[in-house]
A and B are shown apart, each in its own frame.
Chain A
Amino acid sequence: MGSNGQIIRKKDLNFWDRLYIPEILKGLVLTFRQMFKPEITVQFPEERFTPPAQFRGRPVLVEENGVERCVACGLCSRVCPALAIEVQASETELAKERFPIKFEINMVRCIFCGFCEEVCPEEAIIMSNEYLLVFNNQQEAVFGKDKLLKSAAEMHDRLEFLRQHR
């Protein structure tokens, strides 16, 4: 393809194009210049990559004023394609009336698709920017409320991003 999109047939090539050598030299100059550009590698164990707000890391529950936003409607559990979420509802004296007495995400099953975040009516379950998940056994991989709860202030960037782009 030429620079303005038309296909160059073989008969259009002139003598120097057919000789290859000038084109090869041009390519060599390009690769040589490329050598002096800064490398983009992140040296992982020493350097950590901080993902931007649009990154879908592990799902977390948003906590506001010491209480989770979740009303235990169970939509996330229904939509989860990997069947990773388990919710058990209970009643509370607060204005929201319902809360999850048990909220577990099996992180071995989770596929980070973000459907739970999309379906949630309360903006209670959102994807964080954490991507380092290591478990020694299956039991450890089941995250309960203790591991899932994160304060709204902590998740501010993601919440802003969701408000702007959803």
Chain B
Amino acid sequence: MELFIVAAKIVVVLGVLLTGAALTTWAERKISAFIQNRVGPNRIGWAGIFQIVADMVKLVMKEDIVPKSANRFVHDLAPMISLTVAMSTFAVIPFGNTIEIAGQNIKLMVADVNVGVLYILAMTGMGVYGVTLAGWSSNNKYSLLGGLRSSAQLISYELSMGMSLIGVIMIAGSVRLDQIVLQQTEYVGGWLPAWNIFLQPVGFVTFLVSAFAETNRLPFDLPEAEPELVGGYHTEYSGMKFGMFMLSEYINMITASAVVTTLFLGGWHLPFAETWGLSPFTLALLQVGTFAAKVICMIFFFIMIRWTIPRFRYDQLMKLGWKWMLPLAIANVLVTGLVLLLTTN
């Protein structure tokens, strides 16, 4: 029974994640079109919603070209690493409170890991291996530059990302993600939900910027900067291997949105919903819906940022990471520690 529940959770989460990634590509094309006063895909299905199916068919049908001098094994391996890491990060995200189905109390997260935050940091850090190996194995100078940039970017932003999370961990007193969400369901002064965005605004901003850098999204998409590096690390990829990189980018975006939601936006918490007197089952469903709505808002924000801000220059990126974000995150940790020390005594 236990095994069946876990398997069911994996199937559902993976299905939602992959469908979500497909819908996100559609949403990105549609939103970018609206921002630029265009129409966007509108031929296949309602408002072009099945465009991604056509694109997938195209990518699968395409010839898989491997450069003559590429390292074939690593060249094949890199997109797999990217996709696997992207998909496995979502495992520890609690997308709802416990729900009771047929007398079973089911916790709405795939893996109840007791070091959830560390797992997320480790997995997002792993993602760079796919990009760097792809750049190196292609035996192409542009790809290599893209891969190198990706690793340099990761080193610069992983630090401030971890640092900005320490404040959250200090407040919750735990690295379990469900614990962090539960702590956010309380209220400050009886009316303001104790979401970490209100308690840790500086941590929120630094984490958000780091998340953009981690997912290689604009304004930090230097590893694939088209004007300088052709296609960056995936210049030499074609067919479904390119599709895997694309898919992992969008899954990473969804995961990053989910992580931001969990850590800073109260996770599945819908303010004051527990006082409405709903049945526990309805409440749990409502909370899952709330979580989805928050994630969708974050994805929308990611897309809006991409079509608003131009790309940073490489030195600007480094300067922002080391001279602004890291000191800011460390200062945030110090201030949080001081406030916690003064209020608990």
Contacts and interface: CB of A to CB of B under 8 A. Distances in A.
Interface in B64-98: none
B37 A31 contact: no
Interface string A17-58: 000010010011011101101111101000000000000000
B308 interface: yes
Contact of B31 (A27, A30, A35): A35
Contact of B304 (A31, A40, A43): A31
B38 A28 contact: no
Contacts of B304: 28, 31-32
Contacts of A31: 35, 304, 307-308
A118 B34 CA distance: 41
A22 to B, nearest CB: 12
Nearest to A24: B309
A41 B35 contact: no
A43 B39 contact: yes
From A27, A28, A35, A38, residue with most partner B Cβ within 10 Å: A35
B220 to A, nearest CB: 13
B305 interface: yes
Contact of A35 (B34, B39, B205): B34
B205 A21 contact: yes
A34 to B, nearest CB: 5
Given A21-B205, A35-B31, A40 B308 contact: no
From A28, A31, A32, A34, residue with most partner B Cβ within 10 Å: A31
A93 B68 CA distance: 75
A38 B309 contact: no
Contacts of B33: 39
B308 A39 contact: no
Nearest to A29: B308
A37 B37 CA distance: 7
Contacts of A32: 304
Interface residues of B, number: 14
B37 A34 contact: yes
A28 B308 contact: yes
A30 B304 CA distance: 10
Nearest to A18: B324
A24 B205 contact: no
Contacts of A27: 308-309
Interface in B285-318: 304-305, 307-309
A38 B39 CA distance: 9
Contact of A30 (B34, B38, B305, B308): B308
A120 B307 CA distance: 49
A35 to B, nearest CB: 4
Contacts of B39: 39, 41, 43
A34 B34 CA distance: 7
Nearest to B33: A39
Contacts of B309: 24, 27
Contacts of A34: 34-37
Contacts of B34: 34-35, 39
Given A21-B205, A35-B31, A28 B37 contact: no
Contact of A39 (B38, B305, B307): B38
Nearest to B43: A43
A134 B221 CA distance: 42
A2 B57 CA distance: 49
A35 B38 CA distance: 9
Contacts of B305: 24, 28
A30 B38 CA distance: 16
A36 B38 CA distance: 11
A35 B35 contact: yes
Interface of A: 21, 24, 27-28, 30-32, 34-35, 37-41, 43
Given A28-B304, A32-B304, A39-B38, 16 more contacts: A24-B309, A27-B308, A28-B305, A31-B35, A31-B308, A34-B34, A34-B36, A34-B37, A35-B34, A38-B37, A39-B33, A39-B34, A40-B37, A41-B37, A41-B38, A43-B39
28 contacts: A24-B308, A24-B309, A27-B308, A27-B309, A28-B304, A28-B305, A28-B308, A31-B35, A31-B308, A32-B304, A34-B34, A34-B35, A34-B36, A34-B37, A35-B31, A35-B34, A35-B35, A38-B37, A39-B33, A39-B34, A39-B37, A39-B38, A39-B39, A40-B37, A40-B38, A41-B37, A41-B39, A43-B39
Interface of B: 31, 33-39, 205, 304-305, 307-309
Enumerate the 6 nearest inter-chain pairs by beta-carbon distance, A residue then B residue, closest first. A35-B34, A27-B308, A41-B39, A31-B308, A39-B37, A31-B35
